[in-house]
Structure 1
């Protein structure tokens, strides 16, 4: 997730009535609310074939060596059991184009059988698959043809998407076409695969690809749920949304939202995102409440699924202020519940991520419920953090313990609701209200 200052330049180049609250079940959340957890192909699988990101890392020696990440590729049966033991009903991952089609027109059937088994095991554990068709990574041969600045890539990717959808649609998949299109574009710029002047071209081609993929998926599965998840990005959010999200409102079945951080008048630590020091950023869980209201105001007819939310630590060390990952999960869940009580149709929440991962150049930021020390532990032992029991308890009761009050107080002058929160802060009555 490391981002550079080119974020501002690249994204600037792109473009010079309430619904009734859902019925509540025990625990305060709606019946059928989907609790999930996620991983992604490149970040977790290891043993990765030729791709844009393998090329980027070969050229950028200052990054941590990729090694084989946490080796999800060969340890997925036990990792799926860990997820199932949490009680999650959704497991999110990506089907990797570079793995399935390492050369143009050549299908790697060994890797297809891996995904076949991965998806079928999810279902056998009672988990609904959420599958991303693109998570920042494409094959090396696509990189060689100019990737998304070349219109041919649209047709190539749609062939891959059709192959995947035909194979797994029977499993009632929640589909994600492109993960965080804005950051996909930024990574291509930052890694010198895309010029600033070419940013609008990549954006336009992603929009075309998503629109056609949406129709393709619905031809194969009338009842499919399709989105392109968007990353909330504080001051850059209007630009970031325009990379793809705001161009396809008629081709979304739900809003897929990723939320990690926000900004307020008294908290400018979010600017440290440009250095990659995520563990030093002061979290603002109440910002998620305001962001949910914002997206609901814009597209009130669509339900919202929080596809990613997580808390990073520095190599697994405790936070200096004592704010733990379990606090972060509980505080965010509290504010999701508040939004649902306000009538916003939030249908699911995924914690990012099940395991520590390769965070796009570094193993130092740790987000996993299970921590893995890739750099010093050859056995890649999965060790549960304190948040495992917390998240398991939330899922079991379908909500927080009665009387819970957020550890982090609401932020004054929170950017997503600046005028409102400068006048007064939202109250935090004990859960459930």
Structure 2
């Protein structure tokens, strides 16, 4: 549908849209609140991997270095998460740490993950464990990465080891983080050729399906997914390449939402050129992303595995949106989605602290900000969103009197055309 037609239909539909003053609905008592992170981005002192090589190649803005040193400060960060009142902490178990050379398991690194995951459980939270957050060992890169026919079997050997070790903690499982973006990054880095995209996707589908069944043999009640980076407007097309092919092996649909787009603000392209702080982040887009996924996968509950807002360094955004206000607005739209019958079961904020955003420390997403480049002691400084999230978890959402600080987009294109022709107000 042409943009002009979408806008025209939206104008006529405004008279039948929901009440502009609609209240957020109460969430169920078992709704999951959490924070998300990844191993490579936060641990620091990273062993040889595809991404340490990308960062060392000169093609990225910053090298990884210490990152925020979660590797040695995990207990204090886990305590910060527990103090927020969240019940889920998403972490990764990095293959490159666990198996630094073919067939050689680093027992000290396994002991680190043992202690870190046990600390999450001891703090009263449920781990959400990511098996692959775009990082694999350097020796896998030497063999061709996902272009090599040997990679799936080696990936599965490691994944089974992780599952067998930590299934007793009843974690949520994320098999592969944002598969389509994973493939895109590998093309951009030159690790696979564009012609190899179908092969890599086939291999990701196969390893997901295989490890899903292994997890369920260990724990029949396990909750397993692979989170989607929701790309405005084109997501249904992208999902034909992975999500549609594994839908029968997803216990919930994991949704990552960051950026919006509308006729009034078409600056979403800034996210693609690594100026995320200039990209629009209208919170109502989360509602449309959830509604779209619920309609296309009606038998599956939804979990917001990642959502947040980028700033440039520790400065405010050009649009003046504050992190705490944006967080409350996002939660409002989650509650509106629940009120409209969309089965959303959890929400994770990305991220607890700032971290290495795949080549740069400039974009900041943390509830706690950390100046990696200038602060040698890596002080965690709370943003205004820390108090906001603490209140949200205490109240299990925003109150019925809450109204978003920013109005809904007149014609959101996040899940076009429906997000424009069927607006929620």
TM exceeds 0.5?
Answer: yes
Q: Distance in 1 between matches of 2:167 and 2:385?
A: 32
Task: Give the Cα separation in 1 of the matches to 2:390 and 2:215.
Answer: 33
CA distance in 1 between partners of 2:216 and 2:414 (Å) = 34
- Relative to the length of structure 1, the TM-score reads 0.90
Cα distance in 1 between the residues matched to 2:102 and 2:319: 51
CA contact (8 A) 2:60 2:360 kept: no
In the alignment, the residues of structure 2 paired with residue 370 and residue 62 of structure 1 have an alpha-carbon distance, to the nearest angstrom, of 24
| Partner residue, 1:176 | 174
2:154 to 150, 153, 156: 156
The Cα of 1:62 is off from its aligned counterpart by 4.7
Between 266-275 and 355-364, the greater mean CA deviation after superposition = 266-275
Provide closer, same or farther for how the CA distance between residues 32 and 323 of structure 1 changes in structure 2, counting only shifts above 3 A.
same
CA apart distance, 1:322: 2.7
1:124 aligned to 2:122? yes
> Alignment RMSD, CA only?
1.5
Tell me the SS of whatever aligns to 2:277.
helix
1:192 alignment partner in structure 2: 190
Cα offset for 1:263? 1.3
Q: Which residue of 1 aligns with 2:270?
A: 272
**Residues 46 and 65 in structure 2, CA contact (< 8 A), matched pair in contact too:** no
Query: Of 50, 54, 68, which residue of structure 2 is paired with 1:52?
Result: 50
TM-score (ref. length: structure 2):
0.92
Q: Identify the residue that residue 10 of structure 2 maps to in structure 1.
A: none
Which residue of structure 1 lines up, in the alignment, with residue 310 of structure 2?
Answer: 312
**Matched position secondary structure for 1:133:** strand
Q: Paired residue for 2:18?
A: none
Given that 1:149 and 1:205 are in contact with CA atoms closer than 8 Å, whether structure 2 keeps it comes out as no
Q: CA deviation at 1:210?
A: 0.5
- Distance in 2 separating the partners of 1:169 and 1:417: 36
Task: Choose from 377, 388, 391 the match for 1:390.
Answer: 388
Given that 1:27 and 1:397 are in contact with CA atoms closer than 8 Å, whether structure 2 keeps it comes out as no
Q: Paired residue for 2:299? A: 301
2:87 is matched with 89
Contact 2:25 2:339 in 1 (8 A): no
Equivalent of 1:140 in 138, 141, 165: 138
**Deviation sequence 1:112-137 (CA, Å, 0-9, x none):** 00000001000000000000000010
Take 2:384 and 2:420, find their aligned partners in 1: how far apart are those partners? Answer: 35
* Partner in structure 1 of residue 239 of structure 2: 241
Instruction: Give, in angstroms, the shift of residue 65 of structure 1.
Output: 2.1
> Does the 8 Å contact 1:294/1:416 carry over to 2?
no
Q: Deviations over 1:314-356 (max 9, x none)?
A: 1011223431001111111111101101111100000000000
The question of 1:379 aligning with 2:351 is answered no
Distance 1:417 1:204 in 2: 26
- Displacement of 1:417 after TM fit? 4.5
**Unmatched 5+ stretches in structure 1:** 1-25, 428-433
Name the residue aligned to 1:359. Answer: 357
Alpha-carbon shift at residue 408 of structure 1 (Å):
1.5
Which residue of structure 1 aligns with residue 221 of structure 2? 223
8 A Cα contact 1:413 1:419, kept in partner: no
Partner of 1:349: 347
Rounded to whole Å, the distance in 2 between the matches of 1:43 and 1:86 is 21
1:152-201 deviations in Å (ceiling 9; x for gaps):
11111111111111111111110000000111111111011110011111
Structure 1 residue 27 displacement after superposition: 8.1
Which deviates more from structure 2 when the two are superposed, residues 60-69 or residues 364-373?
60-69
Deviation for aligned residue 1:291? 1.1
User: Mean alpha-carbon deviation: is it higher for 143-152 or for 381-390?
Assistant: 143-152
1:65 has 2:63 as partner? yes
Gaps of at least 5 residues in structure 2 are 1-23
Change (3 A) 1:359 1:28: same
Instruction: Please identify runs of 4+ aligned residues in structure 1 that moved more than 6 A.
Output: none
